[in-house]
Structure 1
Amino acid sequence: MQKFNLIVTCKGRLMHLKQTLPLFCALPGTEVTVADYGCPDRCGDWVEAHFPGVKVVRIDDDPGFNLSRARNIAAREAAADYLFFADADILIDPAAMDEINAVLTPETYVTIDVDGRGDGMRGTCIVPRQKFAAVGGYDELLKHYGMEDTELYARLTDFGCKDAFITPAAFTEIAHDDALRTTFFPAKSMRKLRLVAQFYQEYVKVFRRSLKVPQLALEDREQIHAAAVSLVDQLTAAADPRNGARIGLKLPVTRPEDKVGGDMDWQFELTMTMKPKDPLAFRQKYQNPLLYRK
């Protein structure tokens, strides 16, 4: 069995996968899994025809695109000790494995120190499979562009995993525009998608750390995500956004029966407000039709 399982998801990115998959397959000590997420280019068929040693996982029940879900499904079928997540547009030199092996341990996860080179490589990471499973994998409610990576890293860190940074020298992102990133998303504004994801992530993080749990229950996160979408919709549509938008939610807290207060019903309440630092600039960014397309 190989030490690493590199997982790459593809939907409408076959032109990139044709460039990157040969490099993935050349990485020492690494088996490769391609998650074909209803790819209109039938990337799974192409992989099986040209790279029979690569495992193909097909997910064909979602007309949209959910990177978090794709990665979780593929990860559940992996047997290697370490999961290596990379996007289809990331070129990796085999020399990267020397640096990865030098810092990786069962108690660490590895990310790229992008240091001003943009966010394109931020989602590339190597995670111990057992730690990934222990924190619940990627949050599948973060299904549009952005934040699913940093949210996972926060949970791993809270769970006791340390981030071992490596240099970006062996990694190159294939350049492309934002339109390609949002092809299968219902909203085309990356600003708005990222704002929703950022608010949701921060709210969940505060709740989760306060309750001292690896992850909140799905039904609680669904409630928070719906509230985050509503909040951002209100804020970006407001004629006067100076007052911001606020949500407040309540979650039950369970205490062991043999502990003090175990015979009581407990409830945790958290209110969070989001306000633009510069209301005029915010209005122009989100409401000016020349700058923003919904």
Structure 2
Amino acid sequence: MPVAIITGASKGLGRALAAALAGRGWDLVVDARSAGPLAEAARELRTTGARVAALPGDVTDGGHRAALVAAAGELGGLDLLVNNASALGAEPLVRLADQPLDGLRAALEVNVVAPLSLLQEALPLLRSSSYLSSYGELAPYIGNRSYRADVGNSHAYDSDPYTKNARNAGSSDSSPYIGIGDVVIEANAEAAGTGGAVLNISSDAAVEAYPTWGGYGAAKAALDQQSAVLAVEEPGLRVWWVDPGDMRTDLYAAAAPDEDASGRPLPATVVPALLRLLDGAAPSGRYAAAAGTAAPDGVSTR
């Protein structure tokens, strides 16, 4: 069975993705800082028959990261690494003039340093994964150019790889999810990956200038660039950095406690878009998955 590590999996998007993968027969290594909620999530995941190693801890702890990778090895290897754990840097968010520098350092540690360190620890297992190697090249790479893929797998040059597709935005009879054929990608290598996959959860705050989101956005922008370089340096891997769009999560509630988040989509509504990356063995790149209530142009507002 394929094996995934998912950080921050006791709630929100991490838990929803873990549930979907467990239902598909994946074995899982999951973590979270709070032991109680993580144990509850693990019990639920095991009802599917999945083998689940639940390790409470902080991703900024090197010993904890090593334990996560060791647990994956005990399950048989590692096919997917999901860096989902995140930190805002200030709760609630504040303008840059008031950004606590210790908070910014913490955000960089959780959102940038920890994912890289976990990747370094997991790289031997990911390189030896054969889960995605049976897939063909759905979207051929040509140097470092960027392409907009359609459902027929034909491609037209896109000079702006960070412009998100809005084809299905606001349409009641079409899926709100952006799948392989509906996303803008940045090609990073000349051959399809033959090893495992890395999924880094980003944000549109990484590329848009939203007041008060500067510290968090800067950390996610660094994660984006780190992901792009990883895709170039490790062409045998699939590296996906994904803006999941607006979601009703504890993280967003902490970021903007005065906002009414009741109309925001639940994290589970984003999961089908993430699964499409796996199902299609999508090439490395930056993807957006706008779910639920999208803005008129199909781009989520956070």
TM range (shorter): 0.3 to 0.5
Higher relative contact order by CA 8 Å / sep ≥ 6: 1 or 2? 2
Per the normalisation by structure 2, the TM-score is 0.32
Per the normalisation by structure 1, the TM-score is 0.33
Higher strand proportion (structure 1 or 2) = 1
Pick the structure with greater CA Rg: 1
